[in-house]
Structure 1
Amino acid sequence: MTQPLQRYYWLPVVDESSSGGMVRHAFSGRHADSGANDVSFCGKRFCLAKPSEMDWIQAPSCQDCNSLLKALKG
């Protein structure tokens, strides 16, 4: 039996818990359908803005979001 497709996207957002100021978090759905803010897989609410190319390069991925997505895949 195949698992249903889980749509999600990664986005660098301002995260005050990071020393660098930005972290890539995973969000449910499609980025095109997102609003001004959303709750990430790790349960934190963030304002969503268009990141720069440098934000994508410099922001580390949230390990909690990554672990939760891996657990969903089984």
Structure 2
Amino acid sequence: MPQPQTQTQQRYFWLPVPDESSAYGLMRHAFAGTRLDTGTADEAFCRNTFALANPSEMDWIHAKTCQNCNTLLKEMKGRPR
């Protein structure tokens, strides 16, 4: 018999998006749902809205991760900072 889930399962995805706060011009942010469910813009977990585009392989390599999105997702999973 499966164990009851103690945490809510939330689907999310990471995506490099244009972000003026990044020296590279892009930053990886986390968004709720799946990439297929989104339009041309969406609100990230850090509460900022970004235009969504198809990043290149180099964008994935060079874009840093948004620490606010990362921290919020860790807290949702019950992990300490």
State the TM-score, normalizing by the size of structure 1: 0.96
> What residue identity is the alignment partner of 2:50?
F
Alignment correspondent of 2:50 = 46
1:70 aligns with: 74
Aligned-CA RMSD value = 0.8
> Using the alignment, how far apart are the partners of 1:4 and 1:72 within structure 2?
8
Taking only the aligned residue pairs, the percentage that are identical comes to: 58
Return 5+ residue gaps in structure 2 as ranges: none
Moved over 3 A (4+): none
SS of aligned partner of 2:60: helix
Cα shift at 1:37 = 0.2
Equivalent residue for 2:19, pick from 11, 15, 25 = 15
TM-score by length of 2: 0.88
CA distance in 1: counterparts of 2:72 and 2:8, whole angstroms = 16
Is residue 2:29 matched to residue 1:25? yes
Structure 2 counterpart of 1:49, one-letter code: A
Amino acid at match of 1:28: A
Q: Distance in 1 between matches of 2:66 and 2:29?
A: 5
Larger Rg: 2
For structure 1, the residue ranges without an aligned partner over 5 or more in a row are none
Quote the Cα distance in structure 2 between the aligned partners of 1:33 and 1:64. 22
